[in-house]
A and B are shown apart, each in its own frame.
Chain A
Amino acid sequence: MTNASHNDVHKDDLHVSLRGATKVFRRADDGSEVHALGPVDLDLKRGEFFAVVGPSGCGKSTLLEVLAGLSTVTAGTVTFEGKPISGEVPDGVGVVFQEDACFPWMTVADNIAFGLRQAGAAEGEIRARVEGALALMGLNAFAASYPAQLSGGMRQRVCIARTLVLQPRLILLDEPFGALDQQTRLLMGEELLRLWRETGATIFLITHALDEAAMLADRIGVMSARPGRLLEIVETGWPETRDSTIVEKPEFGHVTARLWQWLRAESMKSVGRMDRP
């Protein structure tokens, strides 16, 4: 994790670009359609920290899968580093999924090494990077354990480590701290900020915690109830060298309050919609 330089050099480069990105799921059994996402227009600058908040089921994970190249848009375009993404996983993109993605038959160390082995890295290199990631995630003592012996939060940290060791240029995180307690969540957030500064990676973070979004991100996209559209993008204006102490600032309260203003109505819509089949 040494390439700190391109952070400053390309800060204003366009890294990811969505134009009218829309996703409609068609169910195979009865042919009914679910309009899950969009249209969404969004530009992410290289090295920026972007967070997304939105009511449950509004299409956040769908948006992430489109960015990851795991899912194709039904309309619109998605480009990463100038090249269109169309159902092909582009090089340099790493994902931490919302669900537990640990391989239960592998030790923690082997889980973290998985992507590196797959990419054909040398064993020495793999060992060094895995060791670094274990230390970073506070999992040193569990290198030889199996995921079943870990808590949910620890397993999520394994998944984060597995993605980080690949040193992706675009990191997509889907509620990565959802299974963590509040203290660990704050500390992991700080670690994420540190990593972000050191690697210069672009980060796209989905979260349901408004304070987390407000503390970590440069910009926060607020999504509407399904079909998910971007209602508003809130700029935080934090300095690059920030940490969790930012929560003491009055501006932090302003940002969180603005997010809630936007989300309150949408969340009620989303909950109301849940009552009806």
Chain B
Amino acid sequence: MKTESNLEKMFNAGHFAVTGELGPPKSANLETTLHHAEEMRNHVDAYNITDNQTAIVRTSSIGVAANLVQRGMEPVVQMTCRDRNRICLQADLLGAVSFGALNFLCLQGDHGNFGNETGCKNVYDLDSTQLIQAVKNMRDDGVFVGGDKLEHPLPKVFIGAVANPFADPFEYRALRLAKKIAAGAEFVQTQCIFDLDRFEKWMEQVRELGLHKKVKIMGGVTPIKSVGAARYMQNNVSGMIVPEELVQRIKGAEDKKKEGLNFAIETIKRLQEIEGVHGVHIMAIAWEEIVPEIVERAGLYPRPAVN
């Protein structure tokens, strides 16, 4: 069975892909989430749905994905290793594939210390690299982690990973991506890019290793809404670098929201020029309605059709 995801086809056709992030709510009422999804329907190729991000309990990524599939929208299901052991991760993957999800983003997940269930047991049975390999082995060899066989082949799922050029040790970060590729990662989404110089340095290393030819790289972009938001990310979000220069730029602007937006659009335009960057993942957290404008102003609209 060869059923490529729309996202994978987009890459294969050589287009600069666009995905949008959806953060599920702390309730089972998905009205707002689905409304945001509708707003960007014509502007993104797929929706990346967070999985209890920052360890805060929300509707599951898979739950939202099922709702998207029903509406003819393509999800990228995030799967973290924090909350589920290998039994549950593999079972959930099968469950998600059963309703038509094809893109899976495998990640370690923020530590439980961060969220709203700080007394939780962090699972971490598999790590992100092992999860990537587990999905690949299920798909390519039809075997579970424990060696048992799947009763039917898994459709062609598209395996994603995350990469953070802003984490340390910096000189290891491209090699870390190489390891995830060796494990089976086919596309990768980066941490939000605010420090473009560092990102470009990382991309240089990525190209030196020839990784950009083996994996589809999507740069993460977040439009900054206010000085407070910039400061918050600068000081409180793990694994992020928000240069002081950028904070000052927003601070100095008359219309701070507009300036944050301008920076995001500049970033996407620059990403399109960097050899080896194949797409953008827009994380407009609590500002989802702005996604269409960003896509249009970045010159990425209309989205090409693939089949």
Partners in one complex: no
Give chain A's interface residues, CB within 8 Å of chain B.
none
Give chain B's interface residues, CB within 8 Å of chain A.
none
